[in-house]
Amino acid sequence: MSMKRRLQRGFTLVELIMVIVIMGVIGGMVSVFMKSPIDAYFDSARRAALTDLADTTVRRISRDVGRALPNSLRPPATSQCIEFIPTKTGGRYRADSTAAGLSFAAPPDTSFNMLGSNATFAGNAIPTDQQIMDQDFIVVYNLGVTGSDAYALNAVNRATVNGTPTLAIASPPETNIVVTTTQPAGSPTFSLESGGNRFHVVSSTEQSVTYVCANCTSTTANGNGVGVLYRYVRPFTVAHFCPTTAGEIAAMVVDGAAVLANNVSSGSFTYNGSDLQRNATVQINLSFTQSNETVSVHHEVHADNTP
């Protein structure tokens, strides 16, 4: 019996090399067409992130500036810094000669009635962060000048809440607020009376806020902003200033300054309050740069300086 040998055939090395070359050419052509859409996608994502960062930052600053204590916004010593005293709420005090009223004559008052409830409004509960709490500060008629400056260490227009305010009269509601003052026995609790019987409340945990844009003047070789925007909270007992040197900024960071934004390539704050004392404005100018892509924002915030 005879056996026939079966011939086996496959790809030669030359054929395999040709296939690899052809596939490489096709892959190169495809990558050329795909590169632009992929780059555009990453560029769009980077622009969206920068835009979102700019919008969030400006909204946060605007919200803080909008609740600043009247006349507490200070013209910045440097355009890259601004300082103010944020308020948590406010109210109107009873202004009569009874024990429940607030007197602006000696001796100092130790308590007064606020018109309204500290816990509810129109039948709805007031959020806890908007209620007057123990160790908060009551400020009356702040003008930002000597004799009426809430920044002062022993301010004559500021008193400390002593204990949680209690409901004194149910209908119409009045709340009794007990205060502690540093004024001597021969002086009133507050130096000047408000024409509208108004007072403002400053939180014990957030007495003064400073926004500082550190090193917000340049970019790296890779096209990224090197500046950092900080939000710095300080008590009244700490000297107030705008940090400018590297040492002052480092001390501020150690003291707990929070980072609000990175990649800032330029930033400035402009306070306009000299002409319209009751209607000041704060201009916010910020630019964020990443991979040579820059998003700039200009925003103006109204500051009510009516004490």
Q: DSSP character for 223?
A: S
Residue 150: is its pLDDT beyond 70? yes
Whether 254 and 178 map to the same domain: the answer is no
Between 129 and 244, the higher pLDDT residue? 129
69, 83 contact by CB (below 8 A): no
Domain count, the chain: 2
Identify the band that residue 153 occupies on the pLDDT scale cut at 50, 70 and 90. Answer: confident
CA–CA distance, 228 with 169 (Å, rounded to integer): 50
Which of 23-32, 175-184, 230-239, 289-298 is the most confident on average? 289-298
The domain boundary residue, chosen from 204, 234, 254: 204
Look at residue 11 and tell me if it is in a domain.
Answer: no
Ranking 3-7, 103-107, 161-165, 269-273 by mean pLDDT, the lowest is: 3-7
Residue 240: is its pLDDT beyond 80? no
Look at residue 77 and tell me if it is in a domain.
Answer: yes
298, 270 contact by CB (below 8 A): no
Look at residue 28 and tell me if it is in a domain.
Answer: no
Candidates 155, 254, 131; CA nearest to 204 is: 131
Supply 27's token pair. 């892959």
Assess whether the previous peptide bond of 107 is cis (omega < 30° from 0): yes
Ranking 187-196, 198-207, 272-281 by mean pLDDT, the lowest is: 272-281
Whether 126 and 272 map to the same domain: the answer is no
What local confidence, expressed as pLDDT, does residue 26 receive? 80
Domain span at residue 226? 49-85+206-304
What local confidence, expressed as pLDDT, does residue 185 receive? 73
Look at residue 4 and tell me if it is in a domain.
Answer: no
Whether 213 and 300 map to the same domain: the answer is yes
Whether 60 and 157 map to the same domain: the answer is no
Residue 306: is its pLDDT beyond 90? no
Identify the band that residue 232 occupies on the pLDDT scale cut at 50, 70 and 90. Answer: very high
Whether 78 and 95 map to the same domain: the answer is no
Look at residue 232 and tell me if it is in a domain.
Answer: yes
What local confidence, expressed as pLDDT, does residue 9 receive? 63
pLDDT tens track for 19-51: 888 888 787 777 777 667 777 767 788 888 999
Between 14 and 163, the higher pLDDT residue? 163
What local confidence, expressed as pLDDT, does residue 242 receive? 79
Whether 63 and 138 map to the same domain: the answer is no
pLDDT tens track for 258-298: 999 999 999 999 988 765 567 888 999 999 999 999 999 99
Whether 80 and 100 map to the same domain: the answer is no
The domain boundary residue, chosen from 186, 204, 222: 204
Look at residue 20 and tell me if it is in a domain.
Answer: no
What local confidence, expressed as pLDDT, does residue 209 receive? 93
Whether 58 and 101 map to the same domain: the answer is no
The domain boundary residue, chosen from 170, 204, 238: 204
What local confidence, expressed as pLDDT, does residue 275 receive? 54
Whether 94 and 58 map to the same domain: the answer is no
What local confidence, expressed as pLDDT, does residue 2 receive? 52
Look at residue 33 and tell me if it is in a domain.
Answer: no
What local confidence, expressed as pLDDT, does residue 114 receive? 96
Whether 111 and 187 map to the same domain: the answer is yes
Mean pLDDT of the chain: 87
Identify the band that residue 11 occupies on the pLDDT scale cut at 50, 70 and 90. Answer: low
91, 115 contact by CB (below 8 A): yes
Look at residue 13 and tell me if it is in a domain.
Answer: no
294, 223 contact by CB (below 8 A): no
Local structure of 23: helix, strand or coil = helix
pLDDT tens track for 65-118: 999 999 998 866 678 889 999 999 999 999 877 778 998 888 888 899 999 999
